[in-house]
């Protein structure tokens, strides 16, 4: 099971670098630039987002589902092994409880979140609960209440969430009204072996703070079918066959002898005999080895083990090339390539489903948190990509060039279009030479009224950016290979419509190319013209 699960970890993993935030439209590109830079240069590093995504993937593959909590700064995977009780048909269909164990120092840190505060419904303080605890810990997964002695105090805490009556929250008699609640409780300090319940925290909760995901959900079951469960049958039969094959091999390792010399065993110590030592037999007697090996039976068991392994590979989509094993003799390079592509297809399918779940997490939890952070005073060192460098260089150069032109106009100096372009280019070159690492500062409430309309692309699921780039590049190569010919062809009735159809079939908006279609691509004739006086224009710098 483990090699096939490891293969799924590798092939269905989503890397942080493959999660891209980009503007839905060009008009809000400045906002998305700041969000993207803060996300890549601050949020990912400070909150270890890659570890969260790895845990999410491994938990879902192993157990068939993953439970995720919104968390304070970054979403948190709630381990399914820690569930104390839940609805066995729908994990979010009713209240569920998670069991945790805290050491005293870690539990005291929870005071910063309001645990043990009477204002938050607590009936006991953290220090009082620690004093009631003992050096015992209940064994995980056991229902016989066996406990293990621990080397120090270990406080068992239950976190309960779900739709509960109002009476549980307000200590009244209202058992009719239900709403989402969170209770943090412990059981210690009772008489005659009984434990009393203590509340550390209880509040209303948001139902949207918890999400559950399974790549293969099963109707009427709390969690779906995981990668390990899918291979249980193959593993059970493999274990059965290996045990019996081992017994045959163990039998074959014994070398019992037979002889018709009745006194041979008394005369010779066979067990302690040295190698090549000579023994004596009675004249006319015979000696031989009792056949204990059954090669045919061992081969049958081994063939059956191989069959079950091949079946496990089929179930787990783990063909030999994906496992790093050599393919069968005579396999062509192209055939091997197609085999790998087809073998990865089911993993890409599962990765795509997980990408949609991650997109939901980003839209509901992560993007709003980033927006909240960038409304504060933020200053950080960012590494700009080439596209961002060009975007900033153009906007900064336009703004500063306009400022320089205004100063000259105020002083009575006229500036031509050529002078403006020269100033702008000088500013632009100076900015680009300064390098890709820049200090970025966001002024408090600068983006308070800005609409955050950000698209999320995860592993190409929402938009295949690589394929889209190839299509656009092909169009540019076609146009600029013969610009005059392209311009003339577009004047032929029906050809413009055909070109628009090609763009639409490639999932590219023809509207983005209308300006190109209307431009005369013929090279301009050189002729003397008077310099045009500059008309000052305000650059459009996005927020």
| Measured distance CA(371)–CA(382) in Å, rounded | 17
Listed as ranges, residues in the chain with pLDDT below 70 are 22-30, 139-146, 190-193, 324, 326-331, 333, 445-454, 459-473, 475-476, 478-480, 493-543
Q: Three-state SS string across 226-240, please? A: CHHHHCHHHHHHHHH
Query: Sign of the C-alpha dihedral, residues 378, 384, 387, 393?
Result: positive
Residue 1's pLDDT is 86
Question: Over the range 429-439, which residues count as b (16 or more CB within 10 Å of their CB) and which as e?
Answer: eebeeeeeebe
Residue 169's pLDDT is 92
Are 228 and 81 contacting, i.e. CB atoms less than 8 angstroms apart? no
Nearest CA among 88, 194, 59, 82 for reference residue 138: 82
Question: Over the range 533-543, which residues count as b (16 or more CB within 10 Å of their CB) and which as e?
Answer: ebeeeeeeebe
Residue 542's pLDDT is 45
Q: What is the pTM of this model?
A: 0.72
| Measured distance CA(393)–CA(396) in Å, rounded | 5
Average pLDDT of the chain is 81
DSSP letter (8 states) at residue 194: -
| Measured distance CA(113)–CA(466) in Å, rounded | 44
Residue 90's pLDDT is 93
């Amino acid at each position: 099971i483990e090699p096939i699960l490891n293969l799924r970890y590798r092939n269905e993993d989503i890397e942080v670098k493959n999660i891209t935030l980009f503007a839905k439209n060009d008009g809000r590109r400045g906002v998305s630039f700041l969000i993207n830079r803060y996300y890549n240069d601050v949020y990912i590093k400070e909150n270890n987002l890659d570890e969260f995504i790895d845990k999410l993937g491994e938990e879902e593959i192993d157990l068939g589902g993953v439970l995720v909590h919104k968390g304070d700064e970054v979403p948190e995977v709630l381990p399914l092994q820690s569930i104390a009780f839940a609805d066995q048909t729908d994990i979010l269909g009713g209240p569920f409880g998670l069991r945790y164990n805290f050491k005293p120092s870690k539990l005291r840190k929870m005071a910063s979140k309001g645990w043990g505060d009477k204002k938050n419904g607590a009936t006991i303080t953290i220090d009082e609960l620690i004093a009631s605890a003992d050096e015992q810990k209940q064994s995980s997964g056991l229902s016989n209440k066996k406990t293990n002695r621990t080397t120090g105090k270990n406080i068992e805490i239950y976190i309960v969430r779900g739709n509960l009556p109002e009476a549980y929250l307000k200590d009244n008699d209202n058992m009719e009204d239900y709403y989402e609640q969170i209770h943090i409780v412990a059981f210690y300090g009772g008489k005659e072996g009984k434990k009393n319940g203590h509340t550390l925290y209880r509040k209303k909760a948001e139902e949207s703070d918890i999400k559950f995901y399974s790549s293969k959900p099963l109707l009427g079951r709390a969690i779906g079918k995981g990668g390990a469960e899918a291979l249980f049958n193959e593993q059970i039969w493999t274990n059965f066959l290996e045990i019996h094959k081992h017994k045959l091999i163990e039998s074959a390792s014994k070398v019992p002898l037979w002889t018709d010399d009745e006194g041979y065993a008394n005369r010779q110590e066979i067990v302690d005999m040295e190698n090549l030592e000579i023994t004596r037999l009675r004249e006319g007697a015979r000696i031989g080895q009792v056949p204990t090996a059954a090669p045919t039976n061992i081969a049958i068991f081994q063939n059956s083990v191989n069959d079950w392994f091949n079946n496990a590979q089929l179930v787990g989509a783990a063909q030999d090339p994906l496992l790093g094993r050599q393919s069968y003799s005579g396999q062509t390079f192209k055939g091997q390539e197609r085999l790998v592509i087809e073998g990865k297809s089911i993993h890409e399918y599962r990765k795509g489903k997980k990408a949609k779940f991650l997109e939901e997490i980003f839209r509901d939890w992560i993007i709003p948190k980033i927006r909240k952070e960038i409304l504060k005073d933020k200053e950080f060192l960012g590494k700009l990509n080439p596209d961002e460098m060009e975007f900033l260089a153009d906007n900064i150069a336009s703004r500063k060039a306009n400022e320089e032109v205004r100063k000259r106009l105020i002083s009575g100096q006229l500036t031509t279009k050529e002078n403006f372009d020269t100033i702008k280019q000088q500013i632009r070159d100076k900015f680009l030479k300064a390098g890709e690492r820049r200090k970025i500062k966001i002024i408090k409430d600068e983006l308070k009224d800005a609409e955050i309309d950000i698209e999320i692309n995860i592993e190409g699921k929402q938009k295949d950016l690589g394929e889209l780039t190839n299509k656009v590049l092909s169009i540019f190569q076609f146009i600029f290979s013969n610009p005059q010919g392209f311009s003339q062809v577009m004047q032929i009735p029906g050809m413009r419509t055909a070109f628009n159809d090609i763009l639409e079939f490639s999932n590219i908006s023809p509207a983005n190319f209308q300006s190109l279609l209307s431009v005369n691509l013929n090279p301009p004739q050189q002729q003397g013209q008077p310099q045009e006086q500059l008309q000052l224009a305000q650059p459009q710098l996005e927020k």
